[in-house]
């Protein structure tokens, strides 16, 4: 995808975004809400789902740059990031990962670039935003935690959107089995827009999250009531 914005396919989410989706020529940051492994996995899968949708066209590739290769491939495949879609790169330190990400953006041949770092200052994020804008390639920056207490998104950044993700309890199913995982998705900052928080079900194999059934039913009932009142 080149140019414009990529929506999530959920009006409850897209209508709150200033661009009605994620700007495909911009930097977007994601972080886990805590140091727990569950929140870390949820944040990475949220980000991977976004990459899946940016790389929906056949032959599209995603570059994923890291300092430590600890990604769980079967989990990524569940949200659409299979081995045929992703090119992995590993650097020894954050500066190398950021440089690889910038090179990937400026190449212009990738559907999306992902980088995982613990530190990226304003200069680094400015460079990524500029490279993403020039090439029309979306940049997803995962900010790992440097400490258990401090949120990685507390530092200044040139990102267009900044997301914080955590796990919530899945809905209890009426039959034996595991319900679809749920996430608390917080947009803590967006350019030209307001922050918000929304509970969503985890991404499916096409990279799309969903509204929990109870919330979707409540929204539909409210819309019907408004329509009848009019």
pLDDT at 176: 52
Q: How confident is the model over 162-221, as pLDDT tens digits?
A: 999 999 976 655 555 556 799 999 999 999 999 999 999 999 999 999 999 855 445 444
Using CB atoms within 10 A of its CB, is residue 202 exposed (0-12), middle (13-18) or buried (19+)?
buried
pLDDT tens for each residue of 126-137? 999 999 999 999
- pLDDT tens-digit map of 23-67: 999 999 999 999 999 999 999 999 999 999 999 999 999 999 999
Residue with tokens 């940049």: 139
Tell me the CATH class for 5-229.
alpha beta
Alpha-carbon span 167 to 29, nearest angstrom: 18
The helix (H) or strand (E) run that includes residue 43 is helix 37-54
pLDDT of res. 14: 97
Domain ranges for the chain: 5-229
Which pTM was predicted?
Answer: 0.89
- First CA to last CA across the chain, in angstroms? 39
Q: CA–CA distance from 223 to each of 46, 117, 211 (Å)? A: 28, 42, 15
pLDDT of residue 130: 98
Q: CA–CA separation, 82 vs 76, rounded Å?
A: 7
Tokens encoding 50: 């976004």
* Closest among 50, 25, 21, 28 to 136, alpha carbons compared: 25
- Helices (H), ranges, 136-229: 213-229
Q: How do the residues of the chain divide into helix, strand and coil, expressed in percent and rounded to 5?
A: 35, 25, 45
């Amino acid at each position: 995808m080149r140019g414009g914005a990529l929506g999530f396919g959920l009006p409850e989410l897209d209508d709150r975004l200033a661009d009605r989706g994620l700007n495909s020529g911009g930097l977007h940051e994601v972080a886990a809400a805590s140091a727990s492994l569950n929140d870390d996995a949820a944040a990475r899968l949220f980000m991977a789902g976004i990459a899946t949708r940016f790389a929906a066209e056949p032959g599209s590739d995603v570059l994923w740059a890291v300092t430590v290769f600890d990604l769980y491939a079967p989990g990524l495949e569940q949200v659409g990031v299979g081995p045929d879609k992703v090119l992995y790169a590993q650097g020894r330190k954050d500066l190398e990962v950021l440089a690889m990400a910038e090179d990937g953006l400026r190449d212009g041949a990738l559907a999306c670039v992902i980088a995982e770092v613990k530190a990226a200052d304003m200069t680094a994020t400015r460079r990524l935003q500029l490279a993403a804008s020039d090439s029309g390639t979306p940049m997803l920056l995962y900010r790992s935690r440097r400490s258990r207490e401090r949120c990685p998104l507390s530092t200044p950044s040139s990102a267009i959107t900044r997301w914080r993700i955590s796990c919530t309890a899945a809905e209890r199913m009426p039959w034996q089995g595991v319900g679809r995982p749920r996430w608390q998705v917080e947009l803590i900052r967006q350019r030209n827009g307001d922050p918000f928080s929304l509970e969503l079900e985890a991404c499916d194999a096409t990279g799309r999250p969903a509204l929990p059934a109870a919330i979707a039913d409540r929204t539909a009932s409210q819309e019907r009531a408004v329509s009848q009142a009019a």
